[in-house]
Amino acid sequence: QVVLVESGGGSVQSGSSLRLSCAASGDTIRTYCMAWFRQAPGKEREAVAGIGSSGGTSYADSAKGRFTISRDNAKNTLSLQMDSLKPEDTAAYYCAAAHRDSRLCPLIKLMYNYWGQGTQVTVSS
């Protein structure tokens, strides 16, 4: 069982950058699909980006060209570099994991059974 803890959220202005981190413990994430999801108030939790065990990435359309997901299996961490932030990126961001050794990981919420507690990102115009 893996425990996930996010950090790095905050309040920034439109056009700024933030880097979110997710520290995993309890198991090595080497054979896990890892992903970032987000949830804005009153909305469904949605996928942002995913990364497979060997580094293959996938992004939601809203994240393409602005966000970069990465993982460090040696440090058991997951990161999300967010650039050119917009007010519509305001949400709680969640780190998620699924025990699936795959090059590419589907951005399907139900596939992920380990979740962090979330970190808030607020972008003002």
CA distance 89 to 86: 5
Q: What percent of the chain has pLDDT over 70?
A: 100
Largest CA distance in the chain: 40
* pLDDT, tens digit (0-9, with 9 covering 90-100), for 27-38: 999 999 999 999
Token pair 């996930």 in the structure block, residue: 4
Q: Cα 77 vs. chain centroid, distance in angstroms?
A: 11
